[in-house]
Structure 1
Amino acid sequence: MADAIDTRELTMGDGAVLLANATLPSAVTSGVLNHIGDGLGRADILIDKGEVAVIAPCGELIDPDGAAMVDLDGGLVLPGLVDMHTHLDKGHIWSRRPNPDGTFPGALDAVKADREARWSAGDVRRRMSFALACAHAHGTVLMRTHLDSIPPQDGISWDVFKDIRREWADRIDLQASALFGIDSLDDPAFLPSIADRAAEAGGSLGAVTYMIDGLEDRVEAMFHAAERRGLSLDFHVDETADPDATSLRVIAEAAIRTSFSGKVVCGHCCSLARQSDDAVDRTLDLVADAGIGVVSLPLCNMYLMDRAGGRTPRWRGVTLLHEMKARGIPVAVASDNTRDPFYAYGDLDMVEVYAQAVRILHLDHPSGDWIRAATSTPADLLGDSTRGRLDVGSPADMVVFRARNWNELIARPAGARTVLRAGRAISRKLPDFRELDDLMAT
Structure 2
Amino acid sequence: MTPSFFTPPGAAGGRYVLRRVRAPRCLIDDPVAASLRPAGDGDLVALDLAIADGRIAQIAPAGATDAARGPDLDDSLVLPGFVDLHTHLDKGHIWPRQANPTGDGAGAARATMQDRTANWNAEDLRRRMDFALRTAYAKGVVAIRTHLDSQSPQAEISYPVFRAMREAWAGRIALQVSSITQVDVFLREEGVRLADIVAESGGNLGCVTKSQAHPQEPVPPEIDEAMVRLFRLAAERGLDVDLHVDESTDPRARSLIRVAQAAIKQGFQGRILCGHCTALALQTDEVIAQTLAACREAGIAIVSLPTVNMYLQDRSLDATRTPRWRGVTVLHEMKAAGLEVAVAGDNCRDPFYAYGDHDMLDTYTQAVKILHLDHPFGDWIRAASATPAAIMGLEGRGVLKAGMPADLMVLRARSYSEMLARHQWDRTVLRTGRAIDTTPPDYRELDDLVRVD
Normalising by structure 2, report the TM-score.
0.94
Q: Which residue of 2 aligns with 1:35?
A: 38
- Superposition deviation, residue 5 in structure 1: 3.5
Which amino acid in structure 1 is aligned with residue 336 of structure 2?
A
Which amino acid in structure 2 is aligned with residue 306 of structure 1?
D
Maintained 8 Å contact 1:402/1:415: no
CA distance in 2, matches of 1:23, 1:321: 27
Maintained 8 Å contact 1:376/1:385: no
CA distance in 2, matches of 1:347, 1:150: 26
CA distance in 1, matches of 2:12, 2:151: 48
Which amino acid in structure 2 is aligned with residue 110 of structure 1?
A
- Superposition deviation, residue 392 in structure 1: 1.3
CA distance in 2, matches of 1:413, 1:214: 46
Q: Which residue of 2 aligns with 1:103?
A: 104
- Superposition deviation, residue 170 in structure 1: 2.2
5+ residue gaps, structure 2: 211-218
- Alignment of 1:198 with 2:198, yes or no, is yes
CA distance in 2, matches of 1:429, 1:416: 10
- Alignment of 1:430 with 2:431, yes or no, is no
CA distance in 1, matches of 2:440, 2:277: 32
- Alignment of 1:409 with 2:419, yes or no, is yes
Q: Find 2:373's aligned residue among 363, 375, 378.
A: 363
Deviation sequence 1:27-67 (CA, Å, 0-9, x none): 1113432112511101000011111111111111125xx7x
- Alignment of 1:254 with 2:265, yes or no, is no
Task: Point out the more displaced range, 210-219 or 32-41.
Answer: 32-41
The 3-state SS of whatever aligns with 2:83 is strand
The 3-state SS of whatever aligns with 1:255 is helix
Q: Find 1:376's aligned residue among 386, 398, 403.
A: 386
Deviation sequence 1:242-300 (CA, Å, 0-9, x none): 11101110111111111111110000000000000100000011111111100000010
1:90-239 map, 5 Å = 90-186=91-187, 188-210=188-210, 211-239=219-247
Maintained 8 Å contact 1:4/1:400: no
Deviation sequence 1:128-181 (CA, Å, 0-9, x none): 000001100000001100000101110110000001111111210000001101
Which amino acid in structure 2 is aligned with residue 197 of structure 1?
I
CA distance in 2, matches of 1:413, 1:324: 29
Q: Which residue of 1 aligns with 2:297?
A: 289
Maintained 8 Å contact 2:186/2:192: no
- Alignment of 1:62 with 2:66, yes or no, is yes
5+ residue gaps, structure 1: none
Maintained 8 Å contact 1:351/1:413: no
Q: Which residue of 2 aligns with 1:304?
A: 312
CA distance in 2, matches of 1:241, 1:81: 30
The 3-state SS of whatever aligns with 2:239 is coil
CA distance in 1, matches of 2:264, 2:391: 18
Which amino acid in structure 2 is aligned with residue 49 of structure 1?
D
CA RMSD of aligned residues (A): 1.2
CA distance in 1, matches of 2:12, 2:352: 44
Q: Which residue of 2 aligns with 1:346?
A: 356
The 3-state SS of whatever aligns with 1:18 is strand
Q: Find 2:51's aligned residue among 37, 47, 51.
A: 47
CA distance in 2, matches of 1:414, 1:438: 31
The 3-state SS of whatever aligns with 1:56 is strand
Which ranges of 4 or more aligned residues in structure 1 deviate by more than 6 Å?
none
- Superposition deviation, residue 337 in structure 1: 0.2
Maintained 8 Å contact 1:165/1:173: yes
Maintained 8 Å contact 1:78/1:400: yes
Which amino acid in structure 2 is aligned with residue 158 of structure 1?
Y
Q: Which residue of 2 aligns with 1:385?
A: 395
Which amino acid in structure 2 is aligned with residue 61 of structure 1?
T
The 3-state SS of whatever aligns with 1:73 is strand
The 3-state SS of whatever aligns with 2:75 is coil
CA distance in 1, matches of 2:185, 2:268: 22
Q: Which residue of 2 aligns with 1:26?
A: 25
CA distance in 1, matches of 2:341, 2:391: 9
Q: Which residue of 1 aligns with 2:215?
A: none
- Superposition deviation, residue 6 in structure 1: 2.0
CA distance in 2, matches of 1:278, 1:141: 39
CA distance in 2, matches of 1:280, 1:175: 30
CA distance in 2, matches of 1:34, 1:374: 24
Maintained 8 Å contact 1:216/1:250: yes
- Superposition deviation, residue 229 in structure 1: 0.6
CA distance in 1, matches of 2:4, 2:442: 22
CA distance in 1, matches of 2:8, 2:410: 14
The 3-state SS of whatever aligns with 1:137 is helix
Q: Which residue of 2 aligns with 1:316?
A: 326
- Superposition deviation, residue 8 in structure 1: 5.0
Task: Point out the more displaced range, 251-260 or 318-327.
Answer: 251-260
Deviation sequence 1:101-151 (CA, Å, 0-9, x none): 101100000000000000010000000000001100000001100000101
Q: Which residue of 1 aligns with 2:214?
A: none
